[in-house]
Amino acid sequence: MTFKLDGLETGPAQVRGSVRLVPLIRDEPVPHLRLHRKAYGEPVTVVDVGDAYYVSFVPHAFVASWSDADQLPSASYGTRLLERDTGAPPRMAVRTTRRMARKAGKDRLRFLPLHLAVEGYLALHFGGPEIAWEEWARDAVAHGLSPRCEETYFGLQVRGLEDALRIFEIHPGQCGAMVYVADALASAFVVPHHDDYRALHPTLVEDLFGELIHTYGLLGAPAGDLSGRVDDTQIRSLADLRAAAELRQEEWASFHDVVMAGRLFDGDGSRQVVQRLRGFELARFLPSFALRDENHIGETITDGDGRVAYLKSFRLSDAQTRRGYLLSRLAEHDWRLGATAAALGADRAALALRLERAGFGYLLRQDVLDHYRAQRATRAT
């Protein structure tokens, strides 16, 4: 998985509390591509994902239907008991959104930011065991990992982020930003044109963030002091001062790109192209799920040379990384519990209990899981 951030330069960081924003600046915008925001005012949206279902839980049940009068989608609400059809129940208008990414004309592509990336993570080996090995529950073989859910946090819930984005300065030519909380890379955001960034900068508080970033925001740990120091004993003129400042800026950019953001793109990860439009590719990427390391999922739009025109990423928590790691290892060994355990240097009981702790205990037959629990308890005594 190779991406090119050619044309993007790292600018001077801005810090407020635990939030650090590192601007990404382009000398020239990416031609032939623009991004803009489309906000819908309807309180309900139905997402059509083909043969699958994209479901959100709400405390009331809504049933989508088509209105006979104007052929616009609407949802009925409220509970009624009727002996016969006595007319349509009360309804509200909804907007139908077809798929996560969909062509909206010959020159337009509509997609839901970050939902494309999260959908790819949730669909990771979603089908479950392809062979009915004896350890797996019947539902796991028949329905896979359904339902599959993960918890995320709204950007407004990350303490300090809203205030920081409101007061931070937008640099000339800025086409993106790296967002850090307590010096942990929370997300990366890149757009093709600096006008796009000015329009979309406020939407960062509407993005999704993981458990780690939310926790760091609550703790309020201040960002570290990464400012460069100039040796004033070597300064004899304004030219010396300018040269020293430029050197510190180059050192900061190199340190940031190699050390702080070095794990954003995982060379051992995977990439899936979702849509192609006029020489550009919309794709999502997954990491290799290396334990005890940073793991980011995300989505990109790249041009014909592989240069990133659009990027949005999401940092997985340690628990989410462990789930992705276990699913990937099971899939590599055809969901054979014994073979996977051997590859991980463990026994079947240890792997079964590890799956249970990761939230996948429902995939195993209850009697098998109980047997491994008893086996581990006997060893412990």
Q: Is the dihedral of CA 323, 324, 327, 328 positive or negative?
A: negative
Residue pLDDT, tens place only, 220-237: 888 877 776 777 777 778
Q: What is the pTM of this model?
A: 0.76
Instruction: Report how far residue 16's alpha carbon sits from residue 162's, in angstroms, rounded to the nearest whole number.
Output: 11
Residue 131: predicted pLDDT: 78
Residue 284's SS3 state is strand
Residue pLDDT, tens place only, 320-378: 999 999 999 999 999 999 999 999 999 999 999 999 999 888 888 898 888 888 887 77
Residue pLDDT, tens place only, 121-166: 888 887 788 777 788 888 887 778 877 788 888 899 999 999 999 9
**How many other β-carbons are positioned within 10 Å of the β-carbon of residue 32?**
12
Res. 65 pLDDT band, cuts 50 70 90: very low
Instruction: Specify whether the CB–CB gap between 94 and 46 falls below 8 A.
Output: yes
Nearest to 64 by CA among 42, 86, 40, 95: 95
Q: 312 is written with which tokens? A: 């949005």
Residue pLDDT, tens place only, 161-215: 999 999 999 999 999 999 999 999 999 999 888 998 998 898 888 888 989 999 9
Q: 232 is written with which tokens? A: 């004033």
Q: Using the structure block, give the residue that is written with the tokens 């050390």.
A: 259
Instruction: Calculate the average pLDDT of the chain.
Output: 78
Q: Using the structure block, give the residue that is written with the tokens 């999922």.
A: 297
Instruction: Report how far residue 335's alpha carbon sits from residue 326's, in angstroms, rounded to the nearest whole number.
Output: 10
pLDDT exceeds 60 at position 77 = no
Residue pLDDT, tens place only, 87-124: 555 554 544 444 445 555 556 666 667 777 888 888 88
Domain ranges (residues) in the chain = 1-41+102-335, 45-93
Instruction: Specify whether the CB–CB gap between 144 and 128 falls below 8 A.
Output: yes
Stated length of the chain: 381
Enclosing H/E stretch for 286: strand 280-286
Residue pLDDT, tens place only, 261-318: 888 888 899 988 888 877 888 889 999 999 989 999 999 988 888 888 899 999 999 9
Q: What angle do CA 183, 22, 152 make, to 5 degrees?
A: 55
